[in-house]
Structure 1
Amino acid sequence: MDINAHIAQRVLALRKACGYTLDGLAERSGVSRSMISLIERGQSSPTAAVLDKLAAALDVTLATLFSDEPCSEPASPLARRKDQPLWKDPASGYVRRNVSPRGFPTPIELVEVVFPPHQCVAFDNVTRDAETHQQVWVLEGAIDVTAGSQTWHLEEGDCVALQLEHHTVFHNQGDKPARYVVALSTLPAPTRKRSTPNH
């Protein structure tokens, strides 16, 4: 399936599962009703920033929009590289690969990202209800990660652990692409202990 068609189905299914109307999701996410409608019909190529706003409003991670819904029947715990969905952000050109097995119930999501030089992507991460943790592990190149008021410069082999509750920026200031892995884990919403974001 075309990745935009897959995203369209996931956004629509998650919106209905949450009981949100188009207007309700628009108000909660800050994404316009017309844009959400275009995305759900597969008629738009949304940016990573827009998809992250929708994911946060739907209380899921961005990676969830690219994965399959957990199956009622046992899904394979193995994900061959050729079966891992790829998506390219139309704004920054960064390419993300959902590494984790599709439809397999697991508390961990793995994403591989190839980030072009001199590009920057910002995620709000301020309306998410569930407690979501991520670790960013750089495999090649270097990248700056800013969460709230703190910035880390990560080089090959470096890893930083973050919680998705602050405005977060990924920035490759170098002349070469950076390649890194993001590992995500989400705790049930009732365990959420919200802290005050730093700005």
Structure 2
Amino acid sequence: MKEVTPIHQRIAEALRLQRAERGLSLEALAQATGVSRSALSLIERGQSSPTAIVLDKIAAGLGITLGKLFEQSGRSTDVPVTPLARRAEQVTWTDPGSGYVRRAVSPRNFPSSVQLVDVEFPPGARVAFETVSPTPHFHQQVWILSGEMTLVIGEDSWHLKTGDCLAMTLEQPTVFYNPTDRVSRYCVVMVSGIYS
């Protein structure tokens, strides 16, 4: 049996909670996402290492953003709501498909429409999110802290270098690609529900 890691346990709990809130069976969610029932079951038990692409499909099927699958339940009494997120408390996750490392910077469970995520993207790595955000008015900006990235949003392509910042809505398929031989690092700032 595969060892359940804290991040996989968090994803498992978030998935179970989101599915239960919508009254969806595993079979219904499988049909909505294109992810098999058995794969969903393994993820819900924390016994699978789903890729970013699989998590993106699940999030779209649930009508939430991908970031919601990394959040700890606000109902947990052992996790205090605080406006401070110490570096040691920030949860990291490595995509087994591309090797990119995602660190949730924002304070856990703190009520805010803004979320910050720090990403280290390996040389030559590419991740294509084919599904679009089901969340209306969901905006994000990608700020390159070091290195270079190419982002393809729908039919538009943007090559970003250190210091560049690209604003977007999540209404089209998006590709993240590091065309260089060095790790690129960027911050994603996500804001929901502010513009129409």
With normalisation by structure 2, the TM-score equals 0.91
Alignment check: 8 A CA contact 1:86 1:98 kept: yes
Distance 1:62 1:97 in 2: 13
- Aligned partner (choices 3, 8, 15) of residue 12 of structure 2: 8
- Aligned partner (choices 87, 91, 94) of residue 88 of structure 1: 94
Alignment check: 8 A CA contact 2:27 2:37 kept: yes
Distance 1:25 1:127 in 2: 16
Q: Report deviation, 1:33.
A: 1.1
Distance 2:143 2:193 in 1: 21
Q: Which moved more, 1:96-105 or 1:126-135?
A: 126-135
Alignment check: 8 A CA contact 1:113 1:179 kept: yes
**Residue pairs, 1:121-140, within 5 angstroms:** 121-126=127-132, 128-140=134-146
With normalisation by structure 1, the TM-score equals 0.90
Q: Secondary structure at the match of 1:146?
A: strand
Alignment check: 8 A CA contact 1:59 1:130 kept: no
Alignment check: 8 A CA contact 1:71 1:104 kept: no
Is structure 2 residue 114 aligned with structure 1 residue 108? Answer: yes
Distance 2:76 2:98 in 1: 36
Q: Report deviation, 1:70.
A: 3.2
Q: Report deviation, 1:129.
A: 4.2
| Aligned length in residues | 190
Alignment check: 8 A CA contact 1:125 1:164 kept: no
Which residue pairs with 1:149 in the alignment?
155
Q: Secondary structure at the match of 2:102?
A: strand
Is structure 2 residue 183 aligned with structure 1 residue 180? Answer: no
Q: Report deviation, 1:69.
A: 2.8
Alignment check: 8 A CA contact 1:71 1:103 kept: no
**Residue pairs, 1:4-43, within 5 angstroms:** 4-43=8-47
Q: Secondary structure at the match of 1:27?
A: helix
- Aligned partner (choices 41, 57, 61) of residue 61 of structure 2: 57
- Aligned partner (choices 38, 47, 50) of residue 51 of structure 2: 47
- Computed over aligned residues only, the root mean square deviation of the Cα atoms, in angstroms, reads 1.8
Alignment check: 8 A CA contact 1:57 1:127 kept: no
Alignment check: 8 A CA contact 2:123 2:182 kept: yes
In the TM superposition, structure 1's runs of 4+ consecutive aligned residues that sit over 4 Å from their partners are: 71-74
Identity %: 49
Letter in 1 for 2:182: K
Structure 1 residues 26 and 61, CA, compared in 2 at 3 Å: closer, same or farther? Answer: same
Return 5+ residue gaps in structure 1 as ranges.
194-199
Letter in 2 for 1:7: I
